[in-house]
Structure 1
Amino acid sequence: MTDEETWPELASDERGPVPTVAVVGRPNVGKSTLVNRILGRRAAVVQDEPGVTRDRVAYDAEWAGKEFSLVDTGGWDPDAEGMARSIALQAELAMRTADVIVFVVDSRVGPTDADEAAVKILRTTKKPVVLVANKVDSERQESEIHELWSLGLGEPFPISALHGRNSGDLLDKIVWAFPEVPTGALKERGPRKVALVGRPNVGKSSLLNRIAGEERAVVDNVAGTTVDPVDSLVEIDGEDFVLVDTAGLRKRVKFASGTEYYAALRTEAAVEAAEVALVLLDASEQISEQDQRVLTQVTESGRAMVLAFNKWDLVDDDRRYYLEKEIDRELGQVSWAPRVNVSATTGRAVEKIARALREALGGWGQRISTGELNQWISALQAATPHPVRANKAPKVIYATQAAAEPPRFILFTNAPFEKQYLKFIQRKLREDFGFPGTPIDLVVKPRESRKRPKK
């Protein structure tokens, strides 16, 4: 058996694309009860008070031999504020990313202003919509749902999610609406999620408002105005992104206290939940230790990264010269991150942010086949072998990319490797394959010694 056969390639067993069905509607119309009815078990939390479901939650479902992803959402309200606004945003994302939308209304209340506002969004999605009139517990009540025709979504389908009335027929109707080719693959990803991070007062909220074209975040010259992460669905250069404005990071979480401690925790969680971090730096000021701390946190989180130098309208020729020197000296560890020079005040180059985000996300999800990787590593070692240590020449016997997002490589070796040689491999990986905007993780697994014990 060869060394290569000792470590077979790590294979992934991923399910192919399945249709995605989003259950949406305003609060307390019975969406989670319907989800539980379709699943045949109590999976979604149900209470009499509105607003219990706060995020998109996906479940595996099946009907008549057809598998699909069923997405429960929080209540959608066009006038929501605070936490409710974030909940509404998640419901809106579900509407835009589903293959089929199940729009649930309360038959006993009839069409409301919130329902009509939701219909306007539903029409823009150009997805099939099944209008469900819930809480119709008897045939007599079916005659009372004619008002729902005014929503303009066709015939309302009467059901009782609580008692299961007509639920089978509803599932037939949903399955019939599936597209021939699902756009799903669980389609949970939807718009890419971007954490807007940086030290206090670098202009994160101002940039969010500039991109959104409206006041979505409070802006003040006093550092630390933003405390809670704020989710906003925005369009940059023709593509939707979810931007999360976060509190400015002053200290490490363990050294913070009071409100600052919890703000730092929430910011840390926002970075972990995002796919890419847009790190803002103040181009008009020197790169600080706080900036370095933010960059380290994002790199350690394994997220893709884009550097945005804000307040470029305040940068003159002298500052530009010194800034380039600072970047070379202070940001060498993240030289792989795409850079864009912007101004939240004037709107300069804001559309270029989308291009940089796409580039970073592309590198974050990049893969190299095992065959190509091993050919490359063999040629690299032949040209530049690892220095001999203790009369032994360490070398990679077999390599594989175990994961993406971020890229993670496992190197099976005949001996431990020095850090400097690993940095050399990492640098050559970037030179030959790219991997822009993403940290790269190299894991070395030395082969165990085969020496026989002395008798």
Structure 2
Amino acid sequence: MDDSGIYDCPGYYWLSDQGNPSLSELKMAYFKVAIIGRPNVGKSTLFNRIVGKRVSIIEESKGVTRDKLYKKAEWLGKEFIVIDTGGIIEGKNVDMIYRKVREQSLKAIEESDFIIFLTDVTEGVHPLDEEIANLLRKKNKNYLLAVNKVDNSRREMELGEFTRLGGEDVIGISALHGRFVDLVLDRICEYIGSRTPLSQEELPKIAIVGRPNVGKSSFVNAILGEERVVVDHRPGTTRDAVDTQVKIDSHKCILIDTAGIRKKSKIKSPVDYFSSVRTQSAIDESHVVLFMIDGWEGIRHDDLYYIYRIWEKGKGMVLVINKRDLIQRPIPEYEKLIIQRLPLARYLPVVYTSAVKGYNITQTLLAGLEVYKNLHFRIKTSELNRFLQMLPEEKFPRKGRRILKIYYGTQTGVNPPQFVFVSNYPQLVTKNFSSFIERSLRSRFGFSGVPLRLRFKSREGEGRKK
């Protein structure tokens, strides 16, 4: 049997044009992922690993041809179709069978939504790999580069040369042993979640949150009066959150005005209760929170409580200091007091405004949009691993003869950014070390205004979250 699995492979289901009227519906309704590559790089092994071991098989279907294989699969609650293909071979002297296989592989590329481009680390970058990469670029296809047969950390050091093949990311895997296949599936699911066409519901949602009487309504009124801001009202109910579609310069977003946040102990009436519930819902629905502080009063205990709760929810945040004109201290001195009171402010953009005087209104909205971009910022795996190699060894924790070593890191998600680091002894990871990694990531890549999720795991898959 060749790598395409076209011939006698137990567990595979041939697709036929006859007797399955639901196939076209199945193919249209689900996100499709094609495994593409030259022959003998392990495509069928990866296909079997995904649909037979790592992912629940929901349905087996027969359909179109004899040399493309489809199976429906699920990972992290996302359903998708996996397409196994034959190897792509170029050249004029290729026999008819391989030409047919190549034609079906090209059709799989055309019909797929996302592609796993599989290569072989033991052979390095093959000329056929470069031809396939060029083909995918010409067709403007989103693809992840998976380098197969990376069975150990020594092989991981050879991934660098494959970055020239491009792709959304580069991940070293072992399809045979299942090593890091879960990271490939995480990446697929993240792409599925990000592919919805942009509509009003998918515009950045920015909620204005703060205690009563800190100036939220004045801020919204100031926005309505800005010449650079075009507003389309979407009114809510009394004391409800109000959604407004806003366009500032060429940028669009949904602005959500909320009632003042209150602790449960301070809710005195049913109306206040309803208002509080809707504010919490608005926070949950938003991407970014403009948390407004009364500059005259400073940061109070209630502010701290809600700021950290919002941060733990994974929301982006801008700290908005309103009533700038009433602050008596010099701003540098005032900022030191903020950081003493709220150490998290080191990671937040801080904007000083005066809603009454219309000061820094558009700058505040633009800061929120910038944080939204940071929520969706992605570091390529190759760049992330170069960053890890530059970290000073003396910062890594040790216990006796055991010294923590990070073999490999990859970003597995966005909104908020999520990272997985594969190490020899994840149990050695301390809170201080996790904080060091986070600070280093922020220093190198930014991530202003967004929380980061770090996870340390062993090669066997058991790890701990930080």
Could you tell me the TM-score, scaled by structure 1's length? Answer: 0.55
Change (3 A) 1:327 1:15: closer
Higher mean alpha-carbon deviation, 206-215 vs 266-275, is at: 206-215
Change (3 A) 1:253 1:336: farther
What is aligned with 1:141?
Answer: none
Partner AA of 1:263 in structure 2? S
The answer as to whether partners of 1:236 and 1:353 remain within 8 angstroms in 2 is: no
Change (3 A) 1:429 1:15: closer
What is aligned with 2:433?
Answer: 421
The answer as to whether partners of 2:218 and 2:355 remain within 8 angstroms in 1 is: yes
Aligned-partner SS, 1:351: helix
C-alpha deviation, 1:366, in angstroms: 0.5
The answer as to whether partners of 1:200 and 1:248 remain within 8 angstroms in 2 is: yes
C-alpha deviation, 1:252, in angstroms: 5.5
Identity %: 35
Residue 212 of structure 1, aligned match among 204, 213, 224: 224
Partner AA of 2:312 in structure 1? E
Change (3 A) 1:15 1:319: closer
What is aligned with 1:2?
Answer: 152
What is aligned with 1:300?
Answer: 312
What is aligned with 2:372?
Answer: 361
Aligned-partner SS, 1:12: helix
What is aligned with 1:348?
Answer: 359
Partner AA of 1:7 in structure 2? F
Distance 1:188 1:408 in 2: 26
What is aligned with 1:393?
Answer: 403
Residue 349 of structure 2, aligned match among 338, 350, 363: 338
Partner AA of 1:345 in structure 2? V
C-alpha deviation, 1:285, in angstroms: 1.1
- 2:185 is the counterpart of 1:12: no
Partner AA of 1:343 in structure 2? S
The answer as to whether partners of 1:337 and 1:360 remain within 8 angstroms in 2 is: no
C-alpha deviation, 1:306, in angstroms: 0.9
For 1:63-86, what per-residue CA distance to the aligned partner results, in whole angstroms no more than 9, with x for missing partners?
xxxxxxxxxxxxxxxxxxxxxxxx
Change (3 A) 1:231 1:320: same
C-alpha deviation, 1:429, in angstroms: 0.1
What is aligned with 2:98?
Answer: none
The answer as to whether partners of 1:387 and 1:394 remain within 8 angstroms in 2 is: yes
Change (3 A) 1:368 1:449: closer
The answer as to whether partners of 2:232 and 2:246 remain within 8 angstroms in 1 is: no
* 1:241-320 map, 5 Å: 241-251=253-263, 258-316=270-328, 318=329, 320=331
Residue 435 of structure 1, aligned match among 443, 447, 455: 447
Change (3 A) 1:364 1:386: same
Distance 2:352 2:321 in 1: 5
Distance 1:186 1:287 in 2: 37
Change (3 A) 1:185 1:231: closer
C-alpha deviation, 1:255, in angstroms: 8.5
* 1:363-382 map, 5 Å: 363-380=374-391, 382=392
Partner AA of 1:402 in structure 2? T
Unmatched tracts of structure 2, length 5 or more: 1-150, 157-172, 174-178
What is aligned with 2:197?
Answer: 185
Change (3 A) 1:274 1:260: same
What is aligned with 1:402?
Answer: 412
Change (3 A) 1:255 1:315: closer
Partner AA of 2:316 in structure 1? A
The answer as to whether partners of 1:304 and 1:360 remain within 8 angstroms in 2 is: yes
What is aligned with 2:239?
Answer: 227
Change (3 A) 1:390 1:432: same
What is aligned with 1:411?
Answer: 421
Change (3 A) 1:315 1:334: closer
Partner AA of 1:352 in structure 2? Q
- 2:337 is the counterpart of 1:326: yes
Partner AA of 2:279 in structure 1? T
Change (3 A) 1:216 1:233: closer
Distance 2:194 2:334 in 1: 47
The answer as to whether partners of 1:253 and 1:261 remain within 8 angstroms in 2 is: no
Partner AA of 2:402 in structure 1? K
For 1:373-410, what per-residue CA distance to the aligned partner results, in whole angstroms no more than 9, with x for missing partners?
12211221x54441211431122222111101110111
Distance 1:186 1:352 in 2: 24
* 1:100-179 map, 5 Å: none
Change (3 A) 1:228 1:449: closer
What is aligned with 1:43?
Answer: none
What is aligned with 1:236?
Answer: 248
Root mean square deviation of aligned Cα: 3.2
Change (3 A) 1:385 1:266: same
Aligned-partner SS, 1:436: coil
Higher mean alpha-carbon deviation, 276-285 vs 244-253, is at: 244-253
C-alpha deviation, 1:258, in angstroms: 4.0
The answer as to whether partners of 1:283 and 1:310 remain within 8 angstroms in 2 is: yes
Change (3 A) 1:376 1:216: closer
Partner AA of 1:333 in structure 2? L
Distance 1:433 1:414 in 2: 25
The answer as to whether partners of 1:396 and 1:414 remain within 8 angstroms in 2 is: yes
C-alpha deviation, 1:244, in angstroms: 0.9
Aligned-partner SS, 2:440: helix
The answer as to whether partners of 1:197 and 1:294 remain within 8 angstroms in 2 is: no
Distance 1:445 1:344 in 2: 47
What is aligned with 2:117?
Answer: none
Distance 1:335 1:246 in 2: 26
Distance 2:400 2:224 in 1: 60
What is aligned with 1:174?
Answer: none
C-alpha deviation, 1:430, in angstroms: 0.4
The answer as to whether partners of 1:311 and 1:342 remain within 8 angstroms in 2 is: yes
